[in-house]
Amino acid sequence: MISGDGRPDPYQAFQRGRLAVDQHMSKVLQAEDMWAEETATDILLTEAFPDVRYWKFTKRQESAVGADWLWWWIDTTGTSFGLLTQAKILKRRGTGWHVDFGYRRRKTEPAQIDKLLVSSMTFSVPAAHVLYCGTPAYRAGLACGLTHHDGANCRDRERAGVSIVPSIIPHYLMPRVRDNVAVEAFHWSLPLEDVADPGRSQPPLPPLAAVHPDIAEFMRRPQLGARRVAKTMLEAVHSIRMGQFSAALSEDADDGVEDAVFTHLPSDRGHFGVPYLAHVLGGLRHRPPAYVQDLLAGRTPPTWVTDAVAGIVVIHDPEPAIQHLATPAGDGRMHPQRHLAVVHSDDREQLPPAAVARSNSG
- Residue-wise pLDDT tens digits, 113-165: 999 999 999 999 999 999 999 988 888 888 876 666 666 677 677 789 999 99
Determine how many CB atoms are found less than 10 A away from the CB of residue 254.
Answer: 8
- pTM for the structure as a whole: 0.83
Q: Is 128 helix (H, G, I), strand (E, B) or coil?
A: strand
Query: Is 99:182 a contact under the CB 8 Å cutoff?
Result: yes
| pLDDT number for residue 254 | 53
Q: Is 129 helix (H, G, I), strand (E, B) or coil?
A: strand
| pLDDT number for residue 169 | 95
Share of the chain above pLDDT 70, in %: 77
Query: Is 358:347 a contact under the CB 8 Å cutoff?
Result: no
Distance CA 115, CA 102 (A): 10
pLDDT higher than 70, residue 332: no
Mean pLDDT, the chain, whole residue set: 81
Higher pLDDT residue, 256 or 162?
Answer: 162
Angle 40-56-356 from CA coordinates, rounded to 5°:
110
Taking residues 250-255, what's their average pLDDT?
Answer: 53
| pLDDT number for residue 104 | 86
Distance CA 67, CA 61 (A): 10
Grade residue 262 by pLDDT with cuts at 50, 70 and 90.
very high
| pLDDT number for residue 329 | 36
Angle 176-159-315 from CA coordinates, rounded to 5°:
95
CA-to-CA separations, 217 to 223, 264, 285, in angstroms, rounded: 10, 13, 17
Taking residues 175-196, what's their average pLDDT?
Answer: 91
Taking residues 222-239, what's their average pLDDT?
Answer: 95
Query: Is 12:51 a contact under the CB 8 Å cutoff?
Result: yes
| pLDDT number for residue 245 | 56
- Residue-wise pLDDT tens digits, 58-81: 765 444 454 589 999 999 999 999
Query: Is 229:10 a contact under the CB 8 Å cutoff?
Result: no
Query: Is 84:67 a contact under the CB 8 Å cutoff?
Result: yes
Q: Per mean pLDDT, which of 51-60, 144-153, 174-183, 218-227 is the most reliable?
A: 218-227
